[in-house]
Amino acid sequence: MEPNKIVEEIVNRNNNYVKKHNEHYFAQHIASQHPVITLVSCSDSRVQPNVLIENPIDNMFEIENIGNQISTCEGSVSYGVLYLKTPVLLILGHSDCGALKTFMKGYENIEDSVKKEIDNLKPVGLSKEYTAENFEEILLLNAQKNIDYQVNFAVKTFKDIIQNEKLTVIGAYYDFKNEFGKGHGRMVIVNVNGETNKNKIKGLPVFEHISTEFKDVVIDRYSTKKIKFK
C-alpha cells in the first residue's frame, strides 16, 4: 500500500471519528485518565486491545514493545501501576511472536537498536534447542516461559501492592493459532501473581464471577511430555 493511500485512509477515518463524537464524549477524560488495566503487550500488529475490551479509550494504559517485555519500558509500567493505580496489570504474549523467533534463530547481524531489545530476553532462559518438527511447540513453550518471567518480574517489583490486594498481575497468551484448542483468538490465562498451577489459579477470588465451565476454557497451561527443556 502506497503512503499516500495510507494517509488518505487515516485522515478520513479520523474525520469520521471527529464527526461522531462531540465534547460530551470527551468530557469524562478531558482533564485526566482513569484506566483499569495496565497492558504490557507485544507490538505485533495482530495483537490489539480491542480483542479484550470494547473501548480501550480511558480504560487501558497500553505499553507495547517487541516480546511484551517489562525491562525495556519499566518506567511506563510503573507509571500505570503506581500513579494511575490500575488494579490489573496484564502481560500478554501471543502466537507466532517474531521477537521470540528471532531470539531462537540467532540475531548477531541485526540492527543494534533491535538487538538491544532482543538481548533483554536473555535472562528469560528461552530454549534454542529445536528441530524443524518441534519448532512451533518450542516457540509456544518459550512464549509461556517469557510470560512467566515477565509476571515474576512484576510480582517482585510491585510486591507490596500485590500483598495489599491492590494489584493483580495476570499473564496470558493471545492464541490466534488455536494452539491451546480453546478457539482462534482466545486469551488463555496461564499465570496469576506468579501462580502457574491452573487448578490453584481457578480458585483465586479474581475469577469468582466466572463459571466453573468457563474457567476451564480461559485458564490453562501448555505442557508437553515430548519435549524436555535443557
Give me the helix-helix angle, 112-119 and 98-105, nearest 10°: 90
Closer to Zn ion by CB, 42 or 162: give it: 42
* CB 65 to Zn ion: min, Å: 9
Q: How far is the CB of 30 from Zn ion (least distance, A)?
A: 34
Q: Is 97 in the site for Zn ion (CB under 5 A)?
A: yes
Indicate the residue among 65 and 152 with the shorter CB distance to Zn ion.
65
Binding part of the chain for Zn ion, among 79-87, 97-105, 149-157, 173-181 by CB under 5 A, reads 97-105
Interaction of residue 175 with Zn ion, rule CB under 5 A: no
Sign of the Cα torsion 124, 80, 200, 172 reads negative
Residues pairing with 219 in the sheet? 189
179 sits near Zn ion (criterion: CB under 5 A)? no
Closest by CA position to 172, among listed 189, 186, 197, 184 = 189
Q: Whose Cβ is closer to Zn ion: residue 95's or residue 191's?
A: 95
- Residue 139 contacts Zn ion per CB under 5 A: no
Tell me which stretch binds Zn ion (CB under 5 A): 31-39, 51-59, 98-106, 218-226. Answer: 98-106
How many Cα neighbours within 13 Å face the side chain of 133?
2
Residue 74 CA to its chain's centroid (Å)? 14
- How far is 169 from 195, CA to CA, in rounded Å? 10
**Cell numbers found for residue 15:** 474525520
Residue (15 or 43) nearer to Zn ion, CB: 43
Site string for Zn ion, 29-68 (x = CB under 5 A): -------------x-x------------------------
Q: Considering the complex, state which of residue 44 and residue 175 has its C-beta at the smaller distance from Zn ion.
A: 44
143 binds Zn ion (CB under 5 A): no
Which of 52, 167 has the CB closer to Zn ion? Answer: 52
Secondary structure of residue 64 in the 3-state scheme: strand
147 binds Zn ion per the rule CB under 5 A: no
Element (H, E) at 55: none
Q: Which of 60, 73, 126, 62 is nearest to 99 (CA)?
A: 126
Size of the site for Zn ion (CB under 5 A): 4
Give φ, ψ of 84 to 5 degrees: -90, -10
Q: Which residues bind Zn ion (CB under 5 A)?
A: 42, 44, 97, 99
